[in-house]
Amino acid sequence: MILRTIRSHRLAATSSAHLAGSWWPPAGLRAKSTAILDDDAPPLVEPSEGGTVVTVTSGKGGVGKTTTSASLAMGLANRGFRVAALDFDIGLRNLDLHLGCERRIVFDFVNVINGECKLHQALIKDRHQPNLHMLAASQTREKEALKPEGVAEIISQLRSEFDYVVCDSPAGIEHGAQQAMFHADIALVCTNPELSSVRDSDKMISIIQSKSRRAEEQRDPVQQYLLITRYEAEKVVGEAMLSAADIQEMLGIPLLGVVPEGEEVLKSTNLGRPVITQGAECDTGAAYEDVVKRFLGEECPLRFTQPKEKGFLSGLFGK
Ligand SMILES: Nc1ncnc2c1ncn2[C@@H]1O[C@H](COP(=O)(O)OP(=O)(O)OP(=O)(O)O)[C@@H](O)[C@H]1O
Ligand SMILES: [Mg+2]
Nearest C-alpha neighbor of 146 from the set 120, 105, 181: 181
Domain limits at 134? Answer: 53-297
46 lies in some domain: no
> Is pLDDT of 122 > 70?
yes
Residue pair 76/292 in contact (Cβ under 8 Å)? The answer is: yes
- Indicate whether 79 belongs to any domain: yes
313 falls within a domain: no
Check: CB of residue 70 under 8 Å from CB of residue 132: no
Q: Contact, 19 vs 218, CB < 8 A?
A: no
For residue 63 and ligand 1, the question of a CB distance below 6 A is answered with yes
Q: What is the DSSP string of 238-291?
A: TTSS--HHHHHHHH-S-EEEEEE--THHHHHHHHTS-GGGGGGGSHHHHHHHHH
What separation in Å is there between the alpha carbon of 52 and the centre of ligand 2?
21
Ligand 1 atom nearest to 89, measured from its CA: 27
Q: Which residues contact 104 (CB under 8 A, 6 or more apart)?
A: 124
The pLDDT, as a whole number, for residue 311 is 67
Q: Which ligand is nearest to the CA of 258?
A: 1
Residues 6+ positions from 95 with CB-CB distance below 8 Å: 66, 69, 70, 85, 87, 89, 134, 136, 137, 168
CA distance 218 to 206: 15
Tally of domains within the chain: 1
**236 is a domain residue:** yes
Residues with CB under 5 A from ligand 2 (ion): 65-66
Sheet strands side by side (includes 124-125): 124-125, 132-135, 83-87, 164-168, 52-57, 186-191, 223-231, 255-260
Q: Is residue 221 part of a domain?
A: yes
Residue 19 falls inside a structural domain:
no
* Ligand with minimal distance to 229 CA: 1
For 285-311, write each residue's pLDDT tens digit.
999 999 999 999 998 999 999 988 776
Cα 241 to averaged position of ligand 1 atoms, centre (Å): 17
The answer on pLDDT for 7 being more than 70 is: no
Cα 170 to averaged position of ligand 2 atoms, centre (Å): 6
**What is residue 144's predicted lDDT score, i.e. its pLDDT?**
81
Is 34 a residue whose pLDDT tops 60? no
Angle between helices 2-13 and 244-251 (to 10 degrees): 60
20 occurs within a structural domain: no
Q: Is the CB of 59 under 6 A from ligand 1?
A: no
Cα separation, 283 vs 125, in Å, equals 28
- Separation of CA 112 and ligand 2 centre (Å): 21
Q: Which of 265, 273, 278, 291 to mutate to test the pocket of ligand 1 (most atoms within 8 A of CB)?
A: 265
Q: What is the pLDDT of residue 45?
A: 36
Q: Does residue 216 come out as left (phi exceeding 0), alpha (psi in the -120 to 50 range) or beta?
A: alpha
CATH number at residue 113: 3.40.50.300
| pLDDT score, position 316 | 59
Kindly state whether residue 310 falls inside one of the protein's structural domains: no
pLDDT band at 274 (very low <50, low <70, confident <90, very high): very high
